[in-house]
Structure 1
Amino acid sequence: MRLTEVEAIQIAKQYQQRYPSLKHTIVRAQFNPKFNVVGEKAWIAIGVFELFGDIHEFFYVISDETGEVEYTFNEHGSINPQQ
């Protein structure tokens, strides 16, 4: 692992600043040893938001090797929605 959970969250927050429609509150990040990213190892930063009284999740996929957000997806699996 090159990144820490704190670093992954910070990367997701910086990415979020580039896209005004991403207003999720990033609450945590989880390491995955095999994921579809450069170098296979990834951090998934998890953002939450409320819509009509329900809590929904949004995910930022960060390559542990490059330290960059490779893509995002929502709880329905749609890749890079709302950008």
Structure 2
Amino acid sequence: MGLIMWIIIGLIAGAVAYRVLGGRGGFLGSLVVGLIGALVGGKLAEILRLNISGGFIDQLVLSTVGAILLLFLWRKIRG
């Protein structure tokens, strides 16, 4: 996937994660959470040996799950 698609997926995933867990995240915050969430979700799928085809929807779901997990853990660590 190209850089533009990674940015779009990151923004959507970050925004959804903030919406699910509450709180506020601006443009840059959503982008960072979404992109890091994509890495977390990808690693999680690799560990669980999930068969992901790599399509837009698959990547968006994986990134969103990773972003939600990332925000949840971040908030638990920070208190």
- Asked if these proteins are the same fold (TM beyond 0.5), I'd say no
TM class by smaller structure? 0.3 to 0.5
Query: TM-score, length-normalised on structure 1?
Result: 0.38
Query: TM-score, length-normalised on structure 2?
Result: 0.40
Give the number of the structure with larger relative contact order, counting CA–CA contacts within 8 Å between residues 6 or more apart.
2
Select the structure that is richer in strand: 1
